[in-house]
Structure 1
Amino acid sequence: MAEEKKPRTAEIHGQPWGARARDWADIQEGACRPVYLAVFERVGLRSGAAYLDAGCGAGMASQIAAERGARVSGLDAAENLLAIARARVPHGDLRVGELECLPFADQTFDLVTGFNSFQFAGNPVVALAEARRVAKPGAYVAIVTWGTPEGMEAAALLAALRPLLPPPPPGAPGPFSLSDEAALRTFASGVGLDPAEVFDVDSPWRYPDLSTALRGLKSSGVAARAIEKHSEEAVDAAHATALARFRQADGSYRIGARFRCLLSRA
């Protein structure tokens, strides 16, 4: 296999994203529920449809799809997250693996989604090409990424960790690398997908108190890397400072966030 196609998503992301899997599942993942529901409504996910959740995490999207009657398959780099996903979707086919080398046959799925996952792949273009390969002709492939950072409150929480993270490799894409609509469409068409509708979904982050907010925010793989390089105390301090302006009168926190979705056809 050529070096530029070498799968390396799991080895990069498996350990950090699984480090605080239960906090991710119980606190942070719920912020994504609105975008899961919006995508399934737009594509008309139906009972009996074969669905692949590429980068399924703790399985909330997979669970929603299963409740709608879909036949669910999923893949993730983190075994700890998959353990939760398997409990949520006991009849699903959920596997540890590489986004760049999906362990499924050609033209298998009626819907493939990448909820904030393709841009984390070691080789995003290869990962998306794999999604197209396993999608049936004419099936939807949904690419979901962050909305544009301008005016998005959650961008302040992401920026808060930047000084604590190791330097990214030269040329590494940032978290908003696919947020621009033109870049997103080019990403899809470059692997032979037919880009169609782009839409944004508001998915605010809500926490009842500071302690819960800190647990949720440091459950991400990005936060795990910052903790490894510095300390949990440093990460908590950075998050607490960034959170201060989002504190509500009752002591809860609400941070505006949005996702950008591209529905494309295989």
Structure 2
Amino acid sequence: MTDTIDTATVAHRPDPDAWRAAGDAWGHRAADWACLFEHYSFEVLTAMFPKVGAGSGVELLDIACGAGMAVQHARAAGATVSGIDAAAALIEVARARNPGADLRVGSMFELPWENGSFDAAISVNGIWGGCEPALAEALRVLRPGGLLGISFWGVGPPLDLRPCFKVLAGHAPNEHLTSMKRLNDIAFPGVAEEMLGHAGFDVLEQGRRVSTIEWPDPDIAWRALASTGPAVPALRHGDPAAVRRDVLAAIEPCRDENGIYRFRNDHRFVIAQKPPALSEQANSV
């Protein structure tokens, strides 16, 4: 891992088909993800929503909206919310949760909305290292002065996911490990801020919360963790029974005296703003 951005990637548009593969991975167990894992983001959403003004009269975009939990909470706060995700199976759940919301299957690198469509945007663990073009698209669809909040895993502590995801990487092909290292560069201090600056945003503030998620028994814990995108290469490449065994061994220290698995992780966020005077012509990509 490095602690700097490869600025050559800023102008690079990712493989146009890569988002479909990511969507297939994250949607492979959509019901389990939606019901057993997606609420991991509750604490960081509670922190970010007031900072981006997610409330009555605000038009908000959720980039990589998953199964729509954040959309649901923002709508409850009074916002008009749109969302996009690469996983068709997750969007199906999101639409069921949020009748009438504008939720689309597609790529965050080519947002299907006009320039200046939104007052604010969020992306909860959806924009990672190497995803600079997605930030350029977020800038484009925001109105001048619009706010963006992005979140990502930090370097800890706590970081209960580290031993678990090391197990998944160990069962996956080598090329998957290389890809994950680049994505996780954003965890290092200053990297997200540099990415946002390169895209044209003004960084306003940084913050962190501790994400807490609980599962009552090993079967539920395994179903939750197996629903994540990084589990897919391990499950397809290795022996699923061995992956399950090793993942549960890795998270055994998270199990309390009542048998509850309590998974805690360092969750960082950055709030940025599209400059108020930035014209749409200067912002076009």
Does residue 239 of the first structure (1) align with residue 252 of the second (2)? no
Question: Aligned pair count?
Answer: 263
1:64 counterpart residue number? 73
Residue 167 of structure 2, aligned match among 160, 185, 196: 160
Task: Decide whether aligned partners of structure 1 residues 258 and 3 sit closer, same or farther in structure 2, where only a CA change above 3 A counts.
Answer: closer
Shift of 1:33: 1.4
TM-score, structure 1 as length reference: 0.93
CA distance, structure 1, for counterparts of residue 204 and residue 180 of structure 2: 24
Aligned-pair identity in percent equals: 33
1:47 counterpart residue number? 56
Do 1:199 and 1:262's aligned partners in 2 also have CA atoms closer than 8 Å? yes
For structure 2, the residue ranges without an aligned partner over 5 or more in a row are 1-10, 275-285
Do 2:160 and 2:251's aligned partners in 1 also have CA atoms closer than 8 Å? no
Shift of 1:154: 2.3
- The CA deviation string for residues 16-50 of structure 1, in whole angstroms up to 9 with x for no partner, is 11110000001001111111121102233121211
Do 2:55 and 2:77's aligned partners in 1 also have CA atoms closer than 8 Å? yes
1:220 counterpart residue number? 228
2:44 counterpart residue number? 35
1:208 counterpart residue number? 216
Task: Decide whether aligned partners of structure 1 residues 171 and 30 sit closer, same or farther in structure 2, where only a CA change above 3 A counts.
Answer: closer
1:177-216 matched pairs, under 5 angstroms: 177-216=185-224
Shift of 1:51: 0.6
1:99 counterpart residue number? 108
Task: Decide whether aligned partners of structure 1 residues 171 and 44 sit closer, same or farther in structure 2, where only a CA change above 3 A counts.
Answer: same
Do 1:181 and 1:198's aligned partners in 2 also have CA atoms closer than 8 Å? no
Structure 2 counterpart of 1:165, one-letter code: A
Does residue 230 of the first structure (1) align with residue 238 of the second (2)? yes
Residue 266 of structure 2, aligned match among 249, 258, 261: 258
CA distance, structure 2, for counterparts of residue 160 and residue 82 of structure 1: 29
1:136 counterpart residue number? 143
Which stretch has the larger CA shift, 74-83 or 176-185? Answer: 176-185
TM-score, structure 2 as length reference: 0.87
CA distance, structure 2, for counterparts of residue 90 and residue 192 of structure 1: 34
Do 2:216 and 2:259's aligned partners in 1 also have CA atoms closer than 8 Å? yes
CA distance, structure 1, for counterparts of residue 87 and residue 102 of structure 2: 15
Structure 2 counterpart of 1:97, one-letter code: G
CA distance, structure 2, for counterparts of residue 151 and residue 6 of structure 1: 34
Task: Decide whether aligned partners of structure 1 residues 253 and 169 sit closer, same or farther in structure 2, where only a CA change above 3 A counts.
Answer: closer
Task: Decide whether aligned partners of structure 1 residues 49 and 118 sit closer, same or farther in structure 2, where only a CA change above 3 A counts.
Answer: same
For structure 1, the residue ranges without an aligned partner over 5 or more in a row are none
Do 2:160 and 2:263's aligned partners in 1 also have CA atoms closer than 8 Å? yes
Q: Which SS does the other structure have where 1:107 is aligned? A: coil
Does residue 119 of the first structure (1) align with residue 113 of the second (2)? no
CA distance, structure 2, for counterparts of residue 251 and residue 79 of structure 1: 35
